[in-house]
Structure 1
């Protein structure tokens, strides 16, 4: 299982939000590229880069920061936030992202996801952000009547890089991942699953590994930035070794 540090960008800075709420922001750095390089230096196998402004506005908004990060790191990065056209997906892949994460546009238009997978097979991930199992869109600002498991089932045969499942109620709360929700997702799709939201300890990582089937990756943000969990400890927990 991969441990994937999150680098969330807002206004060109590295920040974390609580439950996706822009009014509950903690700023960590004005140098996103340096943060990304530090995670790489400490052993991260991959980075999760999110353009928070793009997610809210509907189009990429932190291109300069993303470009600089992707220029200086050597590990793969998955990038999301505001990618609501094939042109936006292509642009972020051209910048150097290994995987482009789509959410809102794919939830609203199944044809968009099909077209993206056809154009970039294995390089598009589907981001599913849910509250009580129901999907939200537009930077978590708009509720839908679509169950996350229903959409995961429908795309099970798509050539997706991954489904990234985030429980919004747990995001930034350091209360552990949504294990029942993740288990339900894993039961209905063959697409590799990445967990996000609430992961705060080695115990949480062990619990994710114990799911059947286990998730392929765990995105960790606030716990790493606040020192609740070190990247080294997370990597050892994922590998089943001791520090």
Structure 2
């Protein structure tokens, strides 16, 4: 199981949200480029970057910073937030990212997602952000009528790399992972699952690892890092 540190970008700054609410952002004052290099020095192999401006409005405000991180860090980079057409996806892929995370469009524009998976096989990750197992879109501001499993099923047969399952109620709360929901998704998903939301410390990571679930591919860790609740040297030693 891979551990994937997260960098969330809002107005070119590193922030963390609570339950996706942008008005409740905590800014950490770190240069995102320095954060990425710090992760690389610790032995991190893969980095999760979310463009929160893009997720909310579709703006590409953090593009240049993401480009520098990709160029300087030499990490595998997965990027999400505002990728809603092929032109934007092509630009990111040409930049050299390893994976593109498609969230809102996975709900609203399945034909684009299928075309993206065909053009970039095994490079597309479905970002499924859920509240009570129902998918949310537009930076979590809109709730859909589709369940997590409805979305997974519609992409059966597509060359999707994996899904990131985020429990919105847990995200940014440092309250511990929702093991029951993660297991339910992993048990029923045709794609490997990356868990996200609620990691509060090393015990949550150990718990996920102890499940030894063949379909749980990884875990994203965000706020626990920035609030010094987790020792990355311990994780990656």
Q: Please indicate the TM-score interval, normalised by the length of the shorter structure.
A: over 0.9
Aligned partner of 1:234 in structure 2 is: 235
Query: Contact 2:187–2:215 at 8 Å: present in 1 too?
Result: no
Give the gaps of 5 or more residues in structure 1.
237-243
1:65 aligns with 2:65: yes
TM-score (structure 1 length as normaliser): 0.93
Name which of structure 1's ranges 164-173 and 108-117 shifts more when overlaid on structure 2. 108-117
1:219 aligns with 2:225: no
Distance between the aligned counterparts of 1:30 and 1:207, measured in 2? 30
Distance between the aligned counterparts of 1:172 and 1:122, measured in 2? 28
SS of the residue 1:91 aligns to: helix
Distance between the aligned counterparts of 2:152 and 2:176, measured in 1? 22
Distance between the aligned counterparts of 1:208 and 1:157, measured in 2? 28
- Within 5 Å, give how 1:96-107 maps onto structure 2: 96-107=96-107
SS of the residue 1:17 aligns to: strand
Name which of structure 1's ranges 210-219 and 220-229 shifts more when overlaid on structure 2. 210-219
Q: CA deviation at 1:199?
A: 0.9
CA gap 1:94/1:9 in 2 versus in 1, 3 angstroms: same
Distance between the aligned counterparts of 2:156 and 2:231, measured in 1? 34
Aligned partner of 1:240 in structure 2 is: none
Distance between the aligned counterparts of 1:233 and 1:56, measured in 2? 34
SS of the residue 1:182 aligns to: helix
Name which of structure 1's ranges 100-109 and 218-227 shifts more when overlaid on structure 2. 100-109
Query: Contact 1:49–1:80 at 8 Å: present in 2 too?
Result: yes
Q: CA deviation at 1:30?
A: 4.6
Query: Contact 2:42–2:236 at 8 Å: present in 1 too?
Result: no
CA gap 1:168/1:182 in 2 versus in 1, 3 angstroms: same
Q: Any idea what the Cα deviations from partners look like across 1:56-76, whole Å, max 9, x if unmatched?
A: 012432111111111111111
Q: CA deviation at 1:50?
A: 0.6
Matched residue pairs, number?
Answer: 236
- Within 5 Å, give how 1:101-140 maps onto structure 2: 101-140=101-140
1:198 aligns with 2:202: no
Aligned partner of 2:189 in structure 1 is: 189
1:155 aligns with 2:179: no
Distance between the aligned counterparts of 1:155 and 1:184, measured in 2? 18
Query: Contact 1:101–1:127 at 8 Å: present in 2 too?
Result: yes
Distance between the aligned counterparts of 1:120 and 1:107, measured in 2? 19
Q: Any idea what the Cα deviations from partners look like across 1:6-30, whole Å, max 9, x if unmatched?
A: 0111111111111111111111135
SS of the residue 2:216 aligns to: coil
Query: Contact 1:77–1:98 at 8 Å: present in 2 too?
Result: yes
Query: Contact 1:177–1:198 at 8 Å: present in 2 too?
Result: yes
Distance between the aligned counterparts of 1:204 and 1:19, measured in 2? 18
CA gap 1:235/1:61 in 2 versus in 1, 3 angstroms: same
Distance between the aligned counterparts of 2:221 and 2:110, measured in 1? 29
SS of the residue 1:190 aligns to: coil
Query: Contact 1:131–1:169 at 8 Å: present in 2 too?
Result: yes
